[in-house]
């Protein structure tokens, strides 16, 4: 794999390998033995993704190149390609990129000689978020085949929805979509259901926030929770073992009642914890794929810990 850009690149075997590696990263003191540098290029606001990559990199022993868009040469007209090429030239071994463009990665398709990890591409994909979601679901159920999983909310503008719908379908889950009128994405090709059908029939309810920053006109949020969100009454009708996921940030009282964010069936903060270990696993995987580190070093960590 040249770069970690899309869930469409990953085979099911690779997905399970990454989940296994993430679990090892959670249980072992995994440190890369040689000095390596990572460049975190975030062109959109981020809390969870940026901070979990930062913690993942520090746990692995990587050194981070300090990059801030507002004080970089991007302000002078430098292209994304030249920015990444510059960081590569001065010693970056891997680049983590989030950008508002849906297809920023096409600019970097050739000429870049370090692995790139997609930390969010406009409305297109968010593969590292998808992988931590898959890890959380697998921890809960030990399988994907036959699970009924619903993605609920502003699907049209959500990169998380697209990555998850594709991956879950390929892993054998039954994927359902639920959106307010006008915020569907019929190109995904999965059945659309109502929020009331969703809460009564699904094993996993994956809620999404309204992506206001990607809307051409503002979506009114008054009444959203009542008509399209997860209320306490709806949560009470969910299947006994069903869980709630949300990639966050959470708009409490809009897509989900505030009291449900940390309820017994919520795995929202567990997702965030898993994000550190999954991003460690993805970094290790990409550095191994490129031959930058030895693929057996985690086994050595396991031997030392044992």
Known binding residues: 48-49, 76, 98, 126, 129, 159, 209, 248-249
Question: How does strand 94-99 pair with strand 204-207?
Answer: unpaired
Q: Show the tokens assigned to 82.
A: 């030249």
**Contact 48/272 with Cβ under 8 angstroms?**
yes
Q: Which residues does the annotation place in the binding site for carbamoyl phosphate?
A: 48-49, 98, 126, 129, 248-249
Orientation angle between helical segments 12-27 and 127-141, nearest 10 degrees? 80
Separation between Cα atoms, residue 173 and residue 145, nearest integer Å: 5
Annotate 216-232 with three-state secondary structure: CCCCCCCCHHHHHCECH
Length of the chain in residues, anyone?
306
Q: Rg of the chain over CA atoms, in angstroms?
A: 20
Give whole-number Cα distances, 88 to 167, 294, 302, in Å: 31, 20, 31
Q: Which residues does the annotation place in the binding site for L-aspartate?
A: 76, 159, 209
Give whole-number Cα distances, 254 to 5, 150, 162, 210, 225, in Å: 31, 18, 22, 9, 5
**Contact 149/202 with Cβ under 8 angstroms?**
yes
Q: Which of 115, 125, 191 is nearest to 158 (CA)?
A: 125
Q: Which of 120, 113, 76 is nearest to 98 (CA)?
A: 120
């Amino acid at each position: 794999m040249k770069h970690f850009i899309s869930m469409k690149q990953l085979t099911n075997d690779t997905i399970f390998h990454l989940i296994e590696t993430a679990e090892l990263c959670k249980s072992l003191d995994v440190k890369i033995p040689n000095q390596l540098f990572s460049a975190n290029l975030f062109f959109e606001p981020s809390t969870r993704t940026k901070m979990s990559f930062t913690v993942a990199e520090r746990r692995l022993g990587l050194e981070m190149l300090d990059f801030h868009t507002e004080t970089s040469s991007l302000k002078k007209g430098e292209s994304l390609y030249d920015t990444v090429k510059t960081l590569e030239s001065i010693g970056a071994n891997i680049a983590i990129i989030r950008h508002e463009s849906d297809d920023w990665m096409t600019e970097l398709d050739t000429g870049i000689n370090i692995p790139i990890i997609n930390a969010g591409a406009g409305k297109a994909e968010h593969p590292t978020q998808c992988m931590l979601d898959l890890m959380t679901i697998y921890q809960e159920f030990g399988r994907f085949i036959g699970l009924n999983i619903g993605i609920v909310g502003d699907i049209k503008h959500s990169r998380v929805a697209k990555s998850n719908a594709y991956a879950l379908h390929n892993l054998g889950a039954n994927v359902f979509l639920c959106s307010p009128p006008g915020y569907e994405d019929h190109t995904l090709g999965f059945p659309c259901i109502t929020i009331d059908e969703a809460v009564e029939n699904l094993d996993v309810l994956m809620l999404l926030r309204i992506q206001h920053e990607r809307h051409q006109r503002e979506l009114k949020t008054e009444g959203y929770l009542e008509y399209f969100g997860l209320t306490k009454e709806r949560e009470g009708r969910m299947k006994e073992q069903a869980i709630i996921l949300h990639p966050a940030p959470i708009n409490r009282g809009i897509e989900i009642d505030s009291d449900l964010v940390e309820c017994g069936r919520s795995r929202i903060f567990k997702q965030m914890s898993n994000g550190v270990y999954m991003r460690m696993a993805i970094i290790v995987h990409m550095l191994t794929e490129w031959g930058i580190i030895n693929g057996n070093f985690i086994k050595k960590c396991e031997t030392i810990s044992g």
